[in-house]
């Protein structure tokens, strides 16, 4: 009986670990500073870092950093693989940590086609959601932000080449 209980307990722990990993690889809602998947994620690969540094927000923050901080800039980002277009194209959502983040929100970069000329798009909010609706083959993206009595929801759509703001409430 004790062996059976021990075997069942080990199997349950192993299964829950697998489900935890699976949850991160298939998730559609990303919650800024409180997202455990990002906490355990690796820094993005060099081509993704380069595409992020091409955005105005990252470039401006990078220029304000001390020289010593610049060398380890890739450690300020954590990336999770997503599929915005199809399963064959690998994309990434990247969370920035201070100073690559906002005071009352989190900075994210949506990076398309990370294996072939990645293009980064900056968004900010408390939550980023990959929607099921699609335009030009790419999933729409919604950001939600709230601080005090202020709230903002933004929806971004692809025009086939890049994401653009579609609606803001």
pLDDT in tens, 1-24: 554 434 343 333 333 333 344 578
> What does the alpha-carbon distance between residue 60 and residue 62 come to, in Å, rounded to a whole number?
5
**pLDDT at site 5:** 39
Q: What share of the chain is helix, strand, coil (3-state, %, to 5)?
A: 35, 35, 30
Give the pLDDT score at 1.
52
Backbone angles phi, psi at 87, to 5 degrees: -70, -20
Alpha helices, DSSP H, located in the chain: 2-25, 36-39, 46-53, 56-64, 67-71
What pLDDT is attached to residue 27? 86
The pLDDT, as a whole number, for residue 22 is 57
Type and span of the H or E element at 110 = strand 106-112
Domain assignments of the chain as residue spans, ordered by start: 28-168
Q: What is the pLDDT of residues 133-142, one digit of tens each?
A: 999 999 999 9
Residues of the chain with pLDDT under 70: 1-22
């Amino acid at each position: 009986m004790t062996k059976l209980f021990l075997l069942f307990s080990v199997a349950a722990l192993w299964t829950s670990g697998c489900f935890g990993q699976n949850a991160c690889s298939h998730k559609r809602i990303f919650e800024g500073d409180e997202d455990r998947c990002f906490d355990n994620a690796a820094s993005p690969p060099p081509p993704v870092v380069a595409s992020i540094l091409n955005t105005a927000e990252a470039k401006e923050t990078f220029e304000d950093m001390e020289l010593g901080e610049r060398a380890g800039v890739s450690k300020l980002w954590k990336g999770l693989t997503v599929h915005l277009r199809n399963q064959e194209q690998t994309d990434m959502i990247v969370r920035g940590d201070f100073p690559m983040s906002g005071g009352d929100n989190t900075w994210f970069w949506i990076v398309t086609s990370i294996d072939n000329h990645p293009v980064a798009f900056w968004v900010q909010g408390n939550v980023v959601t990959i929607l099921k609706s699609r335009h030009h083959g790419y999933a729409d993206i919604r950001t939600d932000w709230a601080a005090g009595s202020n709230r903002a929801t933004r929806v971004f759509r692809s025009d086939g080449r890049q994401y653009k703001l579609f609606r803001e409430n």
